[in-house]
Structure 1
Amino acid sequence: MPPRHSFTLTDLAARLNVSVTTISNAFNRPDQLSAELREHILAQAKQLGFCGPNQTARSLRTGKTDVIGVILPEELTYYFEDAVATQFLSGVAQVLDENGYRMLLLPESSLSESGGREPAVDGVIVYGISHNPMLAEHFSQRGKRVVTVEVQMNDIPCVLIDDDISTYHLTRWALENTPRDFAPVIVSMRNGDWAQHHDGPPPDIAPLRRLAAMRRALSDAGFEPDDVPVVVNATMSRDGLDELLPEWLDNEQKRLFLCMSDTLALNALRLAERSGLSIPDDVRLVGFDGVSEGQGRSPQLTTVYQDNRYKGRIAAQMALGKETTNKAILRSFIIYGESCPAR
């Protein structure tokens, strides 16, 4: 029989005397059928020229796409190179796989170049610090489920970590366990210098929460926070500090680098080692994230550990409507490594 391109799911179900759901499961949820029944359905479909359910027609009929978009502020390359980002996306993917959904990665640049065309998604996860803060509200106003991660915006559901608490305790511990002849330097991620370049109230974002926590800890330890320099890595690249940090690495002054991420701390550590400085005798460092690269090297990085994969799972569950909370605040803990040891 020649292929019938207009053959439908309902036609095949009637031909095989099974339900439409059974036919759909054969293509989309094979775990719901016996191997024999699925093979029989697929063989008959192939013989009749039926390639599977028409996803476009289904989406138009039901208004659902079974797709969750993840809006990314940086270019895609970054998310395949950064350990924190890849762990987060892995957690999102696990939950979507478990629920029969797909993930659509949406760099912000692609949205601005789309000419106003909306991506076909049921919901979106805004991961990190958006260059366009209105994106989350834009999708929310169009009835999409929206979840922000590491950023809190009005009443939009969000996933945060207790980074202000853990940053404070790690900074205070590092200061108390570092000799006073070490001068502290804050190494900040992008947007950590918001107040220097923007007017108005600052947004509730991770870099500013961590910066405020560091300054509280400095003040409580007897330092004048405004006198502590802040080195800002304006890019998200691993080597963004190569031109900024060398002036702070010399044998005349010992330094304690308070870094807002492990990526920053590891880069500073690499530059210090390249300069022939001893860690922790000449330079001490603390980071944030607990990535395996910092824990599998010597000296081991002193840092805050956060479960990025679990953070991705919670964000995905909220985007699917399977998590009822409007704000998830996840726990973190300190890893006491060799880059800033106890006295």
Structure 2
Amino acid sequence: MRLTLKDLARELGVSTATVSNAFSRPDQLSAELRERILAEAQRLGYQGPNATARSLRRGRTGIIGLILADRLQYNFEDPVATRFLHGVSEVFDQQNVNMLLLPSRSEFYLGQSFDSLADGYIIYGPPRDGRILDKVTARRKPSVTVDFNLEGVRSLNIDNFAGAHLAAAHGIRHASGQIAVLGLRLISDATQISRVGDQPLTTAEESVSRRRLDGYQAALLEAGRELNPDWIWNAPESRYELGYQAAREALLCTPRPELLLCMSDRLALGAVAAAQDMGLVIPDDLKVIGFDDIPTAAYQRPALTTIHQPQHEKGRQAARMVLGLNNRSRDIVLDARLIVRDSC
């Protein structure tokens, strides 16, 4: 049987408060008494007061939950997500705060109570099941949404519209022909590559990709160009192989696109590979612009023109927001900037 604090106090002939103080408030005891209690605890195999019970009494766990919109595996293989997590963990380490990664699976939230798991939450991307947001916000704990907006909750975003506008404006200065977009999660619940066409799209409030699409379209309209929905492809995830597949489909169309605007660098890198496998020369035959500025973008040959977003800083800012280390009432929007390299 597991030895309890009461058992140890009874064995030593002291109060439970005295035993508790030996572990958590040593200044309340003489050095001799504390050493005797700790020595007896070690002999009997007592590990100390229950940490979970203590945190519940105090109302704090020292843990912040990071709710992921994607599979756990995806967040460890996607360079954008890993840089964000690195920024979050840097601040948490400095503040002696622990991080609990919470999955995107609805049954985890809907099938159990998780009130006591964390002191607050960073919600990284909109969960596919909106009921998860209802469960989290009902707890009224400090929360921050990242890459989407939720009424009554502080948000942290990149200026996706402005970044996409920069990308498109730069691209159309160098490409007079057909333009195609390789989009990302523009269609809810999509599981494979498809053209957008007349399918309903996500809103700008719930999707950074929609903000990017709006930025592309605004730049095209300003230049007197139009983007037909039939020239927009949707990928369900930011993956190299999906960019490859979508680019092949686009480049087999007539007229063949002269510019590909890609909503992530991983999609763009897949598109570059597809074009090269089809015998096209970049940027002579095709120009490609990505979004994110992941490390590989600079080392790719040709190096990828893209939009830089400070993912590491975004993680740091999200951590500071949820811990109340900066302005509590203000949403934050970080700048995005164009990085011109060889692909356009």
SS of match in other structure, 1:71: strand
Aligned to 1:85: 81
Counterparts of 2:285 and 2:267, CA distance in 1:
18
SS of match in other structure, 2:324: coil
Report the CA distance shift for 1:140/1:10 in structure 2 as closer, same or farther (over 3 A).
Answer: farther
Aligned to 2:137: 140
Counterparts of 1:257 and 1:287, CA distance in 2:
9
- Bigger shift: residues 69-78 or 248-257: 248-257
Aligned to 1:74: 70
Counterparts of 2:17 and 2:282, CA distance in 1:
66
Code of the aligned partner of 1:266: L
Code of the aligned partner of 2:331: K
Report the CA distance shift for 1:288/1:75 in structure 2 as closer, same or farther (over 3 A).
Answer: same
Confirm or deny: 8 A CA contact 2:109 2:132 kept in the other structure. Answer: no
Aligned to 1:29: none
**Deviations along 1:1-54, whole A, 9 cap, x unmatched?**
xx9642578526449993379x9xxxxxxxxxxxxxxxxx99897456443452
**Deviations along 1:284-313, whole A, 9 cap, x unmatched?**
110111100111222111011111111011
SS of match in other structure, 1:191: coil
Report the CA distance shift for 1:227/1:73 in structure 2 as closer, same or farther (over 3 A).
Answer: closer
Aligned to 2:261: 258
Unpaired stretches in structure 1, ≥5 consecutive residues: 24-40
Code of the aligned partner of 2:337: F
Alpha-carbon RMSD: 3.3
Give yes or no for the alignment of 1:235 onto 2:232: no
Counterparts of 1:286 and 1:277, CA distance in 2:
16
Report the CA distance shift for 1:16/1:318 in structure 2 as closer, same or farther (over 3 A).
Answer: closer
Report the CA distance shift for 1:188/1:252 in structure 2 as closer, same or farther (over 3 A).
Answer: closer
Counterparts of 1:252 and 1:201, CA distance in 2:
30
Aligned with 2:322 (options 296, 314, 319): 319
Report the CA distance shift for 1:45/1:197 in structure 2 as closer, same or farther (over 3 A).
Answer: farther
Give yes or no for the alignment of 1:222 onto 2:233: no
Aligned to 1:31: none
Give yes or no for the alignment of 1:191 onto 2:186: yes
Counterparts of 1:15 and 1:157, CA distance in 2:
38
Give yes or no for the alignment of 1:19 onto 2:27: yes
Report the CA distance shift for 1:102/1:145 in structure 2 as closer, same or farther (over 3 A).
Answer: same
Aligned to 2:34: none
- Bigger shift: residues 295-304 or 321-330: 321-330
Cα deviation, residue 136, structure 1 = 3.0
Unpaired stretches in structure 2, ≥5 consecutive residues: 9-15, 32-36, 189-195
Counterparts of 2:292 and 2:23, CA distance in 1:
56
Counterparts of 1:277 and 1:259, CA distance in 2:
17
Confirm or deny: 8 A CA contact 2:154 2:331 kept in the other structure. Answer: yes
Give yes or no for the alignment of 1:158 onto 2:155: yes
Give yes or no for the alignment of 1:125 onto 2:130: no
SS of match in other structure, 1:152: coil
Cα deviation, residue 117, structure 1 = 2.4
TM-score (norm 1): 0.82
Cα deviation, residue 145, structure 1 = 1.3
Aligned to 2:192: none
Report the CA distance shift for 1:161/1:106 in structure 2 as closer, same or farther (over 3 A).
Answer: same
- Bigger shift: residues 119-128 or 289-298: 119-128
- Bigger shift: residues 190-199 or 49-58: 190-199
Report the CA distance shift for 1:9/1:253 in structure 2 as closer, same or farther (over 3 A).
Answer: farther
Report the CA distance shift for 1:42/1:11 in structure 2 as closer, same or farther (over 3 A).
Answer: closer
Confirm or deny: 8 A CA contact 1:300 1:338 kept in the other structure. Answer: yes
- Bigger shift: residues 126-135 or 253-262: 126-135
Aligned to 2:333: 329
Report the CA distance shift for 1:293/1:45 in structure 2 as closer, same or farther (over 3 A).
Answer: farther
Counterparts of 1:293 and 1:200, CA distance in 2:
29
Aligned to 1:33: none
Aligned with 2:146 (options 143, 146, 149): 149
Cα deviation, residue 199, structure 1 = 8.5
Code of the aligned partner of 1:167: A
Report how many aligned residue pairs link the two structures.
320
SS of match in other structure, 2:246: coil
